[in-house]
A and B are shown apart, each in its own frame.
Chain A
């Protein structure tokens, strides 16, 4: 199949390469031309605009940072809508506001393109190992067409509901992971301040009801004091902003997500945003150590 791919960063690059390896022809555009370098040796064509990518593809995958980027790629001058043939399917795998996804989907539909939101969980390692969890919102017919592509990038691909539902599921996912990281950080700092070894605590908790992948993996990296990303704290801050925007729009009370969002504000404000999310532990430690 002729597949367009826009957004060849840490996540997008390995995802696109999985599709190429599966025999698809890639059609690429990148804001920064150096992002195209890893594709020089594979079956990929490069273009000057997203519109040209759309003109040559049946499906275009978008994997960028935030809603304004998705909107620009899809609907801006020389965007996908300007070049796409009737029936083009745009699959947005970025994490953006669910309401923004619905709006972009409607505007693309007016121009004859289908839009599917398909955000992912699993991080860079998940992308490299084609082991992502992919949560999809859109029409069932469009989902069936793109599912074989998504299955080359992820190990769990679920149609959640209509347009925007994939982003709602991703928002739920980020509540669980954000609150989860904070809860583990609070527990480890509490243990250390009580004079108890957090490593022993983690070992004991893994067998009980507190078991989670966050406790297992993020907890291990906290103990190793390996704060390299992984998943950057500023990106988690962005995802929590989306969640709190949606909560605000709908008038929902999300107390633990709100407390978590405040901590991530403090992390980014303290200049720790490029660290992994688990840097939350360092913030709590800073807050509970006397000034010298």
Chain B
């Protein structure tokens, strides 16, 4: 199949590579041309613009950062996409932006699917992502063989936008768990107890989670190299708190977590791993005199 791919970053590049290796003809464009080099060496075709990608492809995939990036690209892809073509967006954006883009395409008979992923750079490289997608169920036969190449858990959550709602839920549950780990590690440290042992004991019990395993492990060894860049989680929290405000859903824990992410960003740690939430709780250690003295 002819597939387009735009957004060849930490996630997008390995995902595009899997599609190429599965035998698809891959058409790529990138704002920074160098990010396509390795894919071109493997046989992908360079296109001069998003519209050229769109014209060459039955399905165009995007994996970019913000709602505005996706909506900006959609305006360009619209020039080249044929009726019946599908734009699959793997980015994490606002559910309302996904629904708007689908409505824009619908007038031309073009399909839009939101398919955000969870699993990070490792998940993308190992093709073990969780893919949560929203869109017409009639598109499933065309999409699921592609998704199967990229991830190991693929769920159609509902109509367009539903994938982004699921991803918002994913971020709430995941980052709240990272913050809870950080608070547990801080409590253990304050009490003079080795968090590495506490983590080991908890892993087998009802507090066991992937976050405790992976992010708790990074906190125990103080390895704050990303991982998952905290600035991306911070961005996702702005989206989900905005959406919560819009629909009137009370999120007391998520709101507290959001403020900790704000503090993390203010410390300049946005490109570190989100396990740096532990460092945020350590900031006030031993500075009582300094703060009081102004």
Contacts and interface: CB of A to CB of B under 8 A. Distances in A.
Binding partners A and B = yes
B230 to A, nearest CB: 14
Contact of B206 (A210, A214, A257): A214
A194 B152 CA distance: 26
Q: In this complex, which of A165, A201, A262, A288 has the most chain B Cβ atoms within 10 angstroms of its Cβ?
A: A201
Contact of A205 (B130, B202, B284): B130
A201 B214 CA distance: 22
A22 interface: no
Contacts of A155: 204
A122 interface: yes
A197 B165 CA distance: 10
Contacts of B165: 190-191, 194, 196, 201
Given A180-B176, A256-B179, A259-B255, A284 B250 contact: yes
B204 A156 contact: yes
Contacts of A215: 173, 209
B238 interface: no
Contacts of A205: 118, 130, 132, 166, 169-170, 173
B49 interface: no
Q: Which range holds the interface residue count of chain B?
A: 35 or more
Interface in A178-225: 178-180, 182-184, 186-191, 193-197, 200-201, 203-215, 217
B150 to A, nearest CB: 12
B211 interface: yes
Q: In this complex, which of B129, B197, B243, B260 has the most chain A Cβ atoms within 10 angstroms of its Cβ?
A: B197
Nearest to B251: A186
A168 B129 CA distance: 35
A71 to B, nearest CB: 20
A185 B153 CA distance: 22
Given A156-B201, A246-B191, A257-B180, A183 B158 contact: no
B188 interface: yes
B206 A175 contact: no
Given A183-B177, A209-B214, A213-B206, 4 more contacts: A168-B187, A179-B179, A196-B165, A256-B260
Interface string B214-256: 1000000000000010000000000010011001111111111
Nearest to A160: B197
Interface string A144-172: 00000000000110111100110011011
Contacts of B255: 259
B211 A200 contact: no
B259 interface: yes
Interface stretch (A5-13, A62-70, A247-255): A247-255
Contacts of B28: none
Nearest to B199: A172
A119 to B, nearest CB: 10
B284 A212 contact: no
Given A186-B253, A205-B130, A208-B118, A133 B166 contact: no
A12 to B, nearest CB: 18
A177 interface: yes
B170 A210 contact: yes
A83 interface: no
A164 B180 contact: no
Contact of B211 (A186, A209, A288): A209
Nearest to B182: A256
14 contacts: A133-B206, A176-B212, A182-B252, A186-B176, A186-B254, A187-B173, A201-B166, A205-B166, A209-B210, A212-B212, A215-B173, A252-B186, A252-B190, A288-B249
A149 B132 CA distance: 46
Nearest to B195: A172
A209 B124 CA distance: 12
Given A158-B197, A208-B129, A201 B169 contact: yes
A121 interface: yes
Interface string B145-178: 0000001110111100110011011111110110
Contacts of A254: 183, 186-187, 281
A255 B255 CA distance: 10
Given A176-B202, A254-B187, A169 B193 contact: yes
A177 B207 contact: yes
Nearest to A121: B205
Contacts of A210: 118, 169-171, 173-174, 177, 210-211
Interface string A248-279: 00101111111110110000000000000000
A98 interface: yes
B109 interface: no
Contacts of B157: 196-197, 200-201, 204
B257 interface: yes
Nearest to B173: A210
Return the 4 tightest CB-CB contacts between A and B, nearest first. A207-B153, A208-B118, A212-B209, A133-B205
B244 A190 contact: yes
Nearest to B210: A211
Contact of B256 (A187, A243, A258): A258
Contacts of B168: 187, 190
B135 to A, nearest CB: 13
B246 to A, nearest CB: 9
